[in-house]
Amino acid sequence: MTQDFFKALENRRSIYALAKESPVSDERIQEIVEFAVKYTPSAFNSQSTRVIVLLGEKHDRFWDLTEEQLRAVVPADNFAPTEEKIASFRNGYGTVLFFEDETVVKGLQEQFALYADNFPIWSEQTSGMHQLVVWTALEMEGLGASLQHYNPLVDEAIQKEWDIPSNWKLRGQMPFGKPAMPAGDKEFQPLEERVKIIK
């Protein structure tokens, strides 16, 4: 499936209704993620982003762990909407976990003290760029996705489950799968309030 850059960004939407299917192979999903990690820019070429792709039972297990953690903090009588939301993510085909390697960030802070306060900010920007690239590339292959943030609630549980290095800071979770329903309507604020051209 080919699309131009603008069309790909336009079509990338938050898809919450997912089916446990994929129109492309696991190998293709791996190619997409590896391409994104290799070619997405980072400040000072830090290459601080780390990614884990969970498929099959491992994907299900992540959302089981997330639900367990949420049950501990959300009152039982109010849990039904949360349970429904987590089930919609579990219904997907896989989940991409985005991390930033704090050892890399701290190393840059020490090496370039003048910019020390900026490196955590630039790290977040790098993570965001990786998320957009992966999300858009998955959409181009016919997969729907959304971006979730159950960190730091799930951090300790998944570190134990999959022996994730403690210096990998979880920044976002992207459940994906074949779209079961299209995205809803989206409203846009007037561009003249958001963009200024100065000549």
Beta strands in 27-142 (DSSP E): 49-55, 94-101
Render the burial of 111-126: b for 16+ CB within 10 Å, e for the rest.
Answer: eeeeeeeebbebbeeb
pLDDT of residue 3: 59
Enter the DSSP assignment of 168.
E
pLDDT block averages, 10 residues each, the chain of length 199: 80 96 98 98 97 98 98 94 97 98 98 97 98 97 97 97 98 97 92 96
Q: Give the domains, in start order, of the chain with CATH numbers.
A: 5-181 (3.40.109.10)
Measure the CA–CA gap between 89 and 59, rounded to whole angstroms. 9
Which residue in this structure is represented by tokens 């997409």? 32
Q: Tokens in use for 76?
A: 């039982």
Give me the pLDDT at residue 188, please.
95
